Structures are given as structure tokens and as C-alpha cells.
């Protein structure tokens, strides 16, 4: 089974590939980390316009995050990896996405040149939809005023979608990162318009869980923003299946591992299939307890047994 970006259909890698997309074309452009309610408003605007005019909506986004290239010391912890973001965008009903590789060469592209390339490749370009205050291109010189001027010349409409507010604050990826970091996943979900999830690829671990009677799927998480360390009742999405389980986020103080980095380990209930190399998307249903150090593996095993029983109750699963 393919994982990552390669598993997502409809991903274009070059602007020239827009020539193969049935027009008229409606573009939604942005970084869209987290795909929160504000981002969704931009994308849904393009989708609705495309449906109305029997055209095609295409979301244009970037990899890696531009700040990571331009100001790496200020780069935020990502709410969604590129693969995760593309999956979420597709779940909104978007059939085509243009993923532009962001590097210093692309960053030096004058914004007018970028827009002209999009317009030239689209057959035809009918609309560009962005966040109201979005800026782009060399020196961040691209803005709604430039889009309006080029739209008049090249015959496309520009739409600046207003920011979305909640509880008197503008929804932003920064607000959501803070909520996740604090463990307030309910607030994060409200701001996201969906539950906070982590997408990861199953990798081979040291099999300690198996020796304790609780085999775990070790996830190489694509996300960078984690909830607090601890044990959670979770559900794992594997393709179209949803698998219940229990997960631990942390450094495993009882069983040391190389590097001492945070790990995400998932035990799936009543499941015994080989899934190495596959992607799982984890939804955290309830925080059960903080991570702790035990005096022995047997003490750890007994606690995992209690955690699993508690998670089954939370998830409404009979043992």
C-alpha cells in the first residue's frame, strides 16, 4: 500500500500540468497548515464557484512551509505535514491539487510572473481565491491589489475571503498550536472545524510491547505539533476502516530508546495484521493519564492492561 503524497490522487507537481485540467479553472491559493476553518472558507469558496460555473477547483499549496525556507529559525511546528494536508483538502471534495516545491529560487520569483504562469496554463483561469490579507512572491509584493490589476488584464476574478473569527479571535494556525500543546484538543477541534489528528507511517520498533502482550504500531509521525505526553484512548483511521486502541506519547522512561525523542506508539484492539509502511491517522478521544516511569516491566504491563481496559470503556467496546 502506498503512503505519503504518492498515495493521494490528483496531485500536480508543475504549473504546466494545469493545461490538462478541464476549465474554467478556479484556484484557491495558500499554505493552509492545519486546514482550519479559515483555510476551509477559502477552499470552499473556490469549490462553490467551480460547481456553479461547471468548472474545476484546484488548490495551490507549497512544500515545504515557506517560513522553513526563508526564516528557518522562526519555522513553526507543523499542524499537518504536506501529505496530511493534501489528504484533508481532498476530503473537502477537491479533486485536483497543485503542490509547488518552495525553495529560494521560487521565493525569488516576482509575484506577477507567478500569476501570469498560472493564468497561461489554466484553460481558462476564471478566479483566484485567497485569504483577505494573504501576500506572496518576492518581497511579499503580491497582494489583492496586484491580483485585481492582473485580473482585469488577464480576465480572471480575484476573491479575498475575510478572516474567520471565533470567541472574538481570528482563527489561526498559531492559536491551534497553542491549544494542542496545552492539551485543549476540544478547543483545537472547534478552531479546526474537525478533530485534531496526527498522521504517521508505521515503522518497525524494538518489539517491547509484543513481549508484554500488547504489540504496538510505532508511528513515524508527519506532524510536528504533539499533544502533551501521556496515554490516550484513540481511534486509528486505516484507509476506510476505523480501528480503536490506546496510545502513548512520550519518551518511554521505563524502557529507554535511542535518542530519547518523543514517540507515538499505538496498540490497536483485537488487531493482528502486518501494517509496516502504511499510514495511520490518529484521533485522540480522551486523555487517560500522564506518562510515568515504572520500577519494572511487570508493573508497566499491569498499567498498560488497566489503560487498555479504561480505553475500551471510553470507546464503548466490550472486551
Alpha helices in the chain (DSSP H): 37-52, 66-70, 82-91, 104-107, 111-121, 144-154, 173-181, 185-192, 208-211, 297-315
pLDDT reported for residue 217: 85
Q: Check if the beta carbon of residue 188 is closer than 8 Å to that of residue 171.
A: no
More confident residue, 77 or 288: 288
In this chain, the answer to whether the domains covering 4-173 and 197-315 adopt an identical fold is no
Dihedral Cα 164, 185, 178, 61, nearest 10 deg: -50
2-16, 117-131, 144-158, 269-283: the lowest-pLDDT one: 2-16
User: Could you tell me if residue 207 is left (phi over 0), alpha (psi between -120 and 50 degrees) or otherwise beta?
Assistant: left
Q: Is the pLDDT of residue 163 over 70?
A: yes
Q: Is residue 199 classed as helix, strand or coil in its secondary structure? A: strand
pLDDT-derived band at 263, boundaries 50, 70, 90: confident
CA distances from 217 to 75, 208, 220, 231, 267 (A): 29, 11, 10, 14, 6
CATH superfamily, region 4-173: HUPs (3.40.50.620)
The pTM assigned to this predicted structure is 0.88
More confident residue, 137 or 160: 160
Q: What average pLDDT does the segment 146-167 reach?
A: 96
More confident residue, 74 or 192: 192
pLDDT > 70: what percent of the chain? Answer: 92
pLDDT-derived band at 259, boundaries 50, 70, 90: low
Q: Is residue 171 classed as helix, strand or coil in its secondary structure? A: coil
Q: What average pLDDT does the segment 270-274 reach?
A: 87
20-29, 68-77, 103-112, 120-129: the lowest-pLDDT one: 68-77
2-11, 202-211, 234-243: the lowest-pLDDT one: 202-211
More confident residue, 243 or 263: 243
Q: What average pLDDT does the segment 253-270 reach?
A: 74
Q: Is the pLDDT of residue 253 over 70?
A: no
Return d(Cα 35, Cα 7) in angstroms, integer: 19
User: Could you tell me if residue 284 is left (phi over 0), alpha (psi between -120 and 50 degrees) or otherwise beta?
Assistant: beta
Q: Is the pLDDT of residue 240 over 80?
A: yes
Q: Is the pLDDT of residue 90 over 50?
A: yes
pLDDT-derived band at 136, boundaries 50, 70, 90: confident
Question: CA triplet 89, 161, 152: central angle to 5 degrees?
Answer: 110
Task: Please state which architecture CATH assigns to domain 197-315.
Answer: Beta Barrel (2.40)
pLDDT reported for residue 1: 46
Residue range 213-223, pLDDT digits in tens:
577 888 887 76
In the chain, where the domains are located: 4-173, 197-315
Return d(Cα 25, Cα 125) in angstroms, integer: 5
Average pLDDT, the chain: 90
Return d(Cα 53, Cα 25) in angstroms, integer: 10
pLDDT-derived band at 61, boundaries 50, 70, 90: very high
pLDDT-derived band at 258, boundaries 50, 70, 90: very low
Amino acid at each position: 500500500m502506498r503512503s505519503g503524497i504518492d498515495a493521494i490522487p490528483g496531485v500536480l507537481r508543475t504549473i504546466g500540468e494545469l493545461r490538462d485540467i478541464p476549465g474554467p479553472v478556479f484556484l484557491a491559493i495558500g499554505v493552509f497548515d492545519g486546514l482550519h476553518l479559515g483555510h476551509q472558507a477559502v477552499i470552499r469558496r473556490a469549490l462553490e464557484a467551480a460547481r456553479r460555473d461547471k468548472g474545476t477547483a484546484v488548490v495551490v499549496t507549497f512544500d515545504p512551509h515557506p517560513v522553513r525556507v526563508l526564516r528557518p529559525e522562526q519555522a513553526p511546528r507543523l499542524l499537518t505535514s504536506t501529505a496530511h494536508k493534501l489528504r484533508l483538502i481532498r476530503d473537502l471534495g477537491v479533486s485536483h491539487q497543485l503542490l509547488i516545491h518552495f525553495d529560494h529560487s521560487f521565493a525569488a520569483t516576482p509575484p506577477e510572473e507567478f500569476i501570469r504562469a498560472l493564468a497561461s496554463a489554466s484553460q481558462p483561469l476564471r478566479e483566484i481565491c485567497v485569504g483577505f490579507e494573504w501576500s506572496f512572491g518576492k518581497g511579499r509584493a503580491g497582494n489583492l491589489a496586484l491580483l485585481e490589476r492582473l485580473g482585469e488584464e488577464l480576465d480572471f476574478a480575484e476573491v479575498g475571503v475575510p478572516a474567520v473569527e471565533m470567541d472574538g479571535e481570528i482563527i489561526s494556525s498559531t492559536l491551534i498550536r497553542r491549544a494542542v500543546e496545552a492539551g485543549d484538543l476540544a478547543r483545537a477541534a472547534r478552531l479546526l472545524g474537525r478533530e485534531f489528528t496526527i498522521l504517521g507511517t508505521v515503522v518497525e520498533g524494538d518489539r517491547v510491547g509484543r513481549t508484554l502482550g500488547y504489540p504496538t504500531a510505532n508511528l513515524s509521525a508527519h506532524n510536528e505539533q504533539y499533544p502533551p505526553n501521556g496515554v490516550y484512548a484513540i481511534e486509528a483511521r486505516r484507509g476506510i476502516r476505523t480501528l480503536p486502541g490506546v496510545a502513548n506519547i512520550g519518551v518511554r522512561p521505563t524502557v529507554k530508546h535511542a535518542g530519547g525523542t518523543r514517540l507515538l506508539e499505538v496498540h490497536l484492539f483485537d488487531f493482528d495484521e502486518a501494517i509496516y509502511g502504511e499510514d495511520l491517522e490518529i484521533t485522540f478521544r480522551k486523555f487517560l493519564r500522564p506518562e510515568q516511569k515504572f520500577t519494572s516491566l511487570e508493573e508497566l504491563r499491569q498499567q498498560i492492561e488497566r489503560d487498555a481496559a479504561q480505553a475500551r470503556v471510553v470507546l464503548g467496546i466490550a472486551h
